[in-house]
Structure 1
Amino acid sequence: MSIKENLNNIKKQLPDSVRLVAVSKFHTAQEVIEALQAGQTVFGENRVQEAAAKFDEVKKSFPNASLRIIGQLQRNKVKEAVRIADAIDSVDRIELLDEIEKQAAKIDKKIQVLFEFHTGEESKSGFEDPSLIVEALQKIKDGAYPHIAPRGFMTMAPFTEDKNLVRASFKKLRDLRDQCQKDFPEFDLSELSMGMSGDWQIAVEEGSTMVRIGTAIFGARDYSQAKKD
């Protein structure tokens, strides 16, 4: 099926309250443009260098294309990430917030962030201690990061056939969000980015507001596109 047909098929199954993030890593700018022409506007990329080359080109014709960084972010990539992205969904440590604020301040840009939380044994990134997320939110509340807008949380469920473990992972993130929202009512922490091609239905049942789907939209990834980032 075409990218347009794949998108239509997925969107028919998604509730209106859930946004689709089309994960375009290792896919070409032309494929992103095909998705945009089919009505998709929000994209997720893991690698900053690849995303910059792709979306600098795409946005010339489609300035409404919205880019979210969803991969683990090194400090030396933050400057470029802040320049090209509308949101950084993979904030996994307070030191990263320091660098995002530093780079966003230089270009006077307010950038949305999600806190990535480690909810499963297979996950290799994300905050493991909820108290550190509370500390980060307190710092934002106290004015330490005026160019950062917290919007919610992201997680990756464990790679397992056990749907109960997957569901527990998503519930853990929702419970964390609910507690943080209660403790910090001045912020809108409503976003829950959870669920990918193999488990998004469970994620939606557990309150996901954003699912990240790639292969089911674009087909198999072309790893020749994977330049060192």
Structure 2
Amino acid sequence: MSNIAANIAAVQERLANALQRAGRRHDDARLLAVSKTFPADAVQEAYAAGLRCFGENRVQELCDKAPKLPADCEWHLIGHLQQNKVRPALEHARWLHAVDSVALAQRIQRLAGDLSVAPTLLLEVNISGEESKFGLAPGAVEAVLTALQGGPGCCRGLMTVAPLHASERELHAVFAGLRTLRDQLVARTGMALPELSMGMSGDMDIAVAEGATIVRIGTAIFGRR
């Protein structure tokens, strides 16, 4: 078994254990393998080990890598998306995790219509309030949800990135904050927002405990960059 295959097995066991501890079903959260900066060969190893969902941070890397992998890979763009790169992103990614403005939402909907694609969208929220991070302030999220209504792109939930060196208490607060915001938005708008993309290699267990449905795992699968 390759290192990547062994790493995937270990992460899957860790995810299963975290879900069990949280009293959640075994299929309540999915593993997204973050392959940014790793070559297509590494992604092919992960594919051979059974993974099908892969995340990239940069549009150019996504466009270079996706055509080299099997067609049934499901690509997620998880990094910041500039408006001038929406078209190539939509040509390869089925999921966009970092929608963070009304203008970006409107451009995605217009170009998705032009390309006859229906991406799944998540709104990035800066729950921690860090100035260095992208993402919507919690109070700005509902306006973007409104801008997305009626277009081909379907918003399915929220995404956040926790502070790099946060304590366990801070991590719980950030992830619980995203879940609470989602619940409030569902109550106010009546929209279904089932997805919470949160948690990475170092904080996956806490994210699962607070309701993550997608965990974005890079280092624990592919190694350090």
**2:128 maps to 1:117:** no
Which of 133, 143, 153 aligns to 1:135? It is 143
RMSD: 1.3
One-letter amino acid matched to 1:91: V
Deviation for aligned residue 1:72: 0.6
Q: Indicate conservation of the 8 Å contact 1:19/1:211, yes or no.
A: yes
State the match for 1:96 in structure 2. 104
Task: Extract unaligned runs of 5+ from structure 2.
Answer: 20-25
1:66-77 equivalent positions in 2, closer than 5 A: 66-77=74-85
Equivalent residue number for residue 147 of structure 1 = 152
State how far apart, in whole Å, the 1-side matches of 2:171 and 2:138 are.
Answer: 19
CA deviation map 1:78-101 (0-9, x unaligned): 110011000100011111111111
What are structure 1's unaligned runs of at least 5 residues? 222-229
Partner Cα distance (2:166, 2:134) in 1: 21
* Residue from 168, 171, 179 that aligns with 1:174: 179
In structure 2, the partner of 1:190 is 194
Distance apart, 1:203 and its partner CA: 0.5
In the aligned structure 1, how far is the partner of 2:5 from the partner of 2:196? 26
Aligned amino acid, residue 56 of structure 2: E
* Aligned pairs for 1:7-26 within 5 A: 7-14=8-15, 15=19, 16=26, 17-26=28-37
SS at match of 2:33: strand
Tell me which amino acid in the other structure corresponds to 1:93.
Answer: S
Separation of aligned partners in 1, 2:73 and 2:148: 28
Whole-angstrom distance in 2 between the partners of 1:192 and 1:47:
21
Q: 1:211 aligns with which of 185, 203, 215?
A: 215
Contact persistence 1:193–1:210 (CA under 8 A): yes
Q: How many Å apart are 1:139 and its aligned residue?
A: 3.1
User: TM-score by structure 2 length?
Assistant: 0.90
Q: In 1, Cα distance between the equivalents of 2:213 and 2:137? A: 22
| 3-state DSSP of counterpart to 1:160 | coil
Counterpart of 1:39? 50
Q: CA deviation at 1:129?
A: 3.9
One-letter amino acid of the counterpart of residue 88, structure 1: L
> What residue number does 1:28 align with?
39
Aligned equivalent of 2:22: none
1:121·1:158 contact (CA, 8 Å) conserved in 2? Answer: no
Q: Is the Cα–Cα contact under 8 Å of residues 55 and 78 in structure 2 kept in the other structure?
A: yes
How far, CA to CA, are the matches of 2:156 and 2:37 in structure 1? 27
Distance in 2 (CA, whole Å) between partners of 1:161 and 1:139 is 33
Checking the alignment, whether the CA contact within 8 Å between 2:106 and 2:148 is kept in structure 1 is no
User: Aligned to 2:133, what secondary structure does the other structure show?
Assistant: coil
**One-letter amino acid of the structure 2 residue matched with residue 125 of structure 1:** F
Aligned equivalent of 1:224: none
Aligned to 2:3: 2
C-alpha distance in 2 between matches for 1:151 and 1:44: 17
3-state secondary structure, aligned to 1:192: strand
2-structure distance, mates of 1:140, 1:192: 18
d(CA) in 2 for partners of 1:138 and 1:216?
A: 37
Displacement of 1:161 in angstroms is 4.3
State the 4+ residue runs in structure 1 displaced beyond 4 angstroms.
Answer: none
